[in-house]
Amino acid sequence: MDDSLVRETRRSGPVLGRALRILGAFSANCPELTLSELSRRSGLPVSTVHRMLGELIAWGALERGDKGCYRVGLRLWEVASLAPRGQGLRERALPFLEDLSQITRENVQLAVREGVEVVFVERIAGSGAVPVLTRVGARFALTATGVGLVLLAHAPDEVQEQALAGPFERFSPSTVTDPRALRRMLADTRAHGYAVSDRQVTMDALSVAAPVHDSGGAVVAAVSLVVRHGSTSAHGLARLVCTSARAISRAMTAPPAPRL
């Protein structure tokens, strides 16, 4: 190996780390990237990215479009869909999410917590419902969304302290960024059994969320309805969401159906 390649390898880090940095360069706002963009966003030399793209494409982690840009491949999605925390939860919850969607014709969401972020594992868009910024697989702040408030309210103390230490991203003029106000909201969530996020993400949306429990009583997920602000009362939505959350919790504790 010549000296220049040795220096590049040391600078770029281990092979797996470099591959993850390339994959991490993609985002919802940048689903397709050129070679130079991948280099810039990953912080890796163009030569390193170019060399690794061949292996990533051959395995199916990435695809190359007609215009020469790169995008995430289906093989990566297939592997990600096997994540047990998302897959098993989604399968158990989906019938109840669909029922809730049919009853309300509103946006229905299911999410889990990872660290101090929300990860959405399912979303059903209602016909004519208010547009939302979330999508399946997306991450969001715990303190801004209905599902995030539920998950944070039942998270360990150290997670709560980390999340409430900030900094807080302001998504709308109504985003709550005062830690004292957020603590009161978390206490209300625990007391009432559901959370309300009123125009915290967008000024036209109201979210009501409730916890999903596992067999041991721990909160493992949250389900929510997102409606247009002012279209209905949060209290009325809470009854529907809590009923669905309890049904999903019961499904989580039931033995899995036998595979035919």
pLDDT digits (tens, 9 = 90+) for 84-106: 555 578 888 999 999 999 999 99
Nearest to 154, CA basis, from 216, 228, 104: 216
**pTM for the predicted model, two decimal places:** 0.72
What dotted CATH number matches 3-79? 1.10.10.10
Give Dmax over CA atoms of the chain in angstroms.
69
- Our measurement of the distance from residue 41's CA atom to the centroid of its chain's CA atoms, rounded to an integer in Å, reads 21
Cα separation of 138 and 123, whole Å?
Answer: 11
Task: Render pLDDT for 228-252 as a digit per residue (tens, 0 to 9).
Answer: 998 888 888 999 999 999 999 999 8
For the chain, the structural domain boundaries read 3-79, 84-253
Cα separation of 224 and 130, whole Å?
Answer: 14
Architecture of the domain made up of 84-253: 2-Layer Sandwich (3.30)
Name the pLDDT band for 149 (thresholds 50, 70, 90). Answer: very high
> Whose structure tokens read 């409430």?
164
> Whose structure tokens read 């390339």?
22
Q: What is the pLDDT of residue 226?
A: 93
Cα separation of 143 and 78, whole Å?
Answer: 30
222: buried, middle or exposed (CB in 10 Å: 19+, 13-18, 0-12)? buried
